[in-house]
Amino acid sequence: ITADNASYPPSISGIQNGITAYVLNQMKWSDEKHNISLSVTGSSNAFDFNIVYSDINHIWDNGTIIKEATCTEPGIKTYTCTICNKTKTETVAALGHSFSKKWIIDKPATCQNEGIKSYHCTRCNERQNVTTISKLDHEWDNGIIITEPTYTSEGKIKYTCKNCSFTKEVKTECLKETKEDKLARQNKNAL
């Protein structure tokens, strides 16, 4: 095709009423919507074209997140053509879990119950490597004497855990009688 004193290869052609018409490709048409109607007139016949650009000619914005992606569910993002306002939707890949590098104590161990620790996802409530924490040892107080030991009978001391108030009773040995104690006791009984 010759136009403006130059030759161009045809880029659009069509047949209507047995007549073939050619139109030069232009990157930018005068219509902002990219939906162009052209009339081509030959020596004896008129030829009408309606040209609609395909999606490859859209200029998309940066998109808007419609649904945020989560660790396990994909999101949705919609783009709008800045020229014709056509929209397209794309799936945003699920993020996958991102687990902490440090243990998180989910349930502290006590003297009476085991605890639990795990690695937590930084985005959701998912946990991994859930691990049992052993029970703590009781931390006993100094105890109180319930029954004083004698030379002939055992005594009893009650201990209480400082952390959980659990108690235990421990028997104590009979008093050890020295020679002096035995002599004093015998003298006391002799009176």
pLDDT of residue 186: 78
Q: Is the predicted pLDDT of residue 182 greater than 80, yes or no?
A: no
Q: Are residues 47 and 29 in the same domain?
A: yes
User: Residue range 131-151: average pLDDT?
Assistant: 92
Sequence-ordered list of residues with C-beta below 8 angstroms from that of 55, at least 6 positions apart, any chain:
86, 88
User: Residue range 63-69: average pLDDT?
Assistant: 96
User: Within a domain: residue 187?
Assistant: no
pLDDT of residue 175: 84
Contact (Cβ atoms closer than 8 angstroms) between residue 42 and residue 14: no
Provide the number of structural domains found in the chain.
4
The mean pLDDT of the chain is 79
Q: Are residues 28 and 47 in the same domain?
A: yes
Decide: pTM greater than 0.75.
no
pLDDT of residue 27: 40
User: Within a domain: residue 188?
Assistant: no
Q: Is the predicted pLDDT of residue 5 greater than 80, yes or no?
A: no
User: Within a domain: residue 7?
Assistant: yes
Domain boundary among 67, 96, 125: 96
pLDDT of residue 117: 97
Percent of the chain with pLDDT over 90: 50
Q: Are residues 62 and 48 in the same domain?
A: no
Q: Is the predicted pLDDT of residue 123 greater than 90, yes or no?
A: yes
Q: Is the predicted pLDDT of residue 45 greater than 80, yes or no?
A: no
Q: Sign (positive/negative) of CA torsion 120, 126, 131, 134? A: positive
User: Within a domain: residue 184?
Assistant: no
Cα–Cα distances in angstroms (integers) from residue 13 to residues 8, 25, 46, in the given order: 13, 10, 14
Range of the domain at 64: 58-96
Q: Are residues 48 and 64 in the same domain?
A: no
Among 35-44, 68-77, 93-102, 137-146, name the one with the lowest average pLDDT: 35-44
User: Residue range 157-171: average pLDDT?
Assistant: 92
User: Within a domain: residue 189?
Assistant: no
Q: Is the predicted pLDDT of residue 46 greater than 60, yes or no?
A: no
Q: Are residues 109 and 76 in the same domain?
A: no
Q: Are residues 110 and 92 in the same domain?
A: no
User: Residue range 32-61: average pLDDT?
Assistant: 56
Q: How confident is the model at residue 35 (pLDDT cuts 50, 70, 90)?
A: very low
Q: Are residues 47 and 62 in the same domain?
A: no
pLDDT of residue 179: 83
Domain boundary among 68, 96, 124: 96
User: Residue range 49-59: average pLDDT?
Assistant: 58
- For the record, the structure tokens of 62 come out as 């940066």
User: Within a domain: residue 186?
Assistant: no
